[in-house]
Amino acid sequence: MGAQWKAKGKELAANAKGKVFGKLAKEIMVAARSGADPASNARLRLVVEQARKVSMPKDTLERAIKKGAGLTGEAVHFEHVIYEGFAPHRVPVMVECLTDNLNRTASEVRVLFRKGHLGTSGSVSWDFDHVGMIEAEPAAAGADPELAAIEAGAQDFEPGEEEGTTMFLTEHADLDLVSRALPAQGFTVLSAKLGYKAKNPIAPASLSAAELEEVEAFLAAIDANDDVQNIFVGLAA
């Protein structure tokens, strides 16, 4: 959990899958500003691959690309903003949003942080590293994550969010390069994005079961907001 927080079991819910599609569509539209061709737009290519992995409908994917690239005549403008603060019990949190209305998002985030503490810019980010995060699974038995990390140019690796997967960590500038290199090392890339990894994550054992439940409830409420794209939490797995 020291990398990206994901709600327990949320991938199993149909309405949650729709929310995932919505978040990916926003990322696709933002990435497509730099061009509608994934072959020449590395950021778009990574998001499109991620969308395909979760079976986003083809027409939804193509519509998002065209809309973001300005090919439909519709005005699309999302701003990227990060909020920093603490969940209950001083667990550091970084909340990444894409919004078409900064005032609305700021107001809603302030309300969501009432059970925690909303900090100022830099109040929490100093304790996180800005890195590339590539979740991948072995394409064949015997694929060695340590060797793959070395050969592909990743900085480090750790167990992924899903069972049997590996999270490869890169310099943020090397995200596309490493994601392209991993298949040759026996790994299938499931997702690739920039994110924040806590330098000194809090051990869950230092919190009681009730306190952990409060943290989870706080994070789930934030995740339910339509403008929230990703949540990065300073809590060890």
Q: Supply angle C-alpha 190, 18, 49, rounded to 5.
A: 25
pLDDT mean over 163-183: 92
Between β-strands 228-233 and 128-138, what pairing exists: parallel, antiparallel or unpaired? unpaired
Is the per-residue pLDDT at 16 higher than 70?
no
Residues paired with 231 in a beta bridge: 95
The structure's pTM equals: 0.84
Residues paired with 158 in a beta bridge: 167
Instruction: Look at residue 57 and tell me if it is in a domain.
Output: yes
- 220 close to 112: Cβ distance less than 8 angstroms: no
Instruction: Look at residue 127 and tell me if it is in a domain.
Output: no
Number of domains in the chain: 1
Instruction: Look at residue 31 and tell me if it is in a domain.
Output: yes
Lowest-pLDDT range of 18-22, 84-88, 182-186: 18-22
CATH number of the domain to which 38 belongs: 1.10.10.200
Instruction: Look at residue 33 and tell me if it is in a domain.
Output: yes
Instruction: Look at residue 76 and tell me if it is in a domain.
Output: no
Please name the residues in contact with 133: beta carbons below 8 A apart, sequence gap of 6 or more: 3, 4, 167, 168, 169, 170, 191, 192, 193, 194, 195, 197
Instruction: Look at residue 35 and tell me if it is in a domain.
Output: yes
Mean residue pLDDT of the chain comes to: 89
Give the residue among 168, 219, 220, 171 at the shortest CA–CA distance from 190. Answer: 168
Instruction: Look at residue 62 and tell me if it is in a domain.
Output: yes
pLDDT the model gives residue 184: 94
Instruction: Please indicate whether residue 72 or residue 83 has the higher confidence score (pLDDT).
Output: 83
Please name the residues in contact with 157: beta carbons below 8 A apart, sequence gap of 6 or more: 145, 146, 148, 149, 166, 167, 168, 169
Q: Supply angle C-alpha 106, 26, 215, rounded to 5.
A: 50
Instruction: Look at residue 182 and tell me if it is in a domain.
Output: no
> 195-204 pLDDT, tens per residue?
999 999 999 9
Is the per-residue pLDDT at 59 higher than 80?
yes
Distance CA 189, CA 87 (A): 31
**Containing domain of residue 28, as a range?**
10-68
Instruction: For the beta carbon of residue 41, count every other beta carbon within 10 angstroms.
Output: 19
**Which band of pLDDT confidence, cut at 50, 70 and 90, is reported for residue 10?**
very low
For the chain, percent of residues with pLDDT exceeding 90: 66
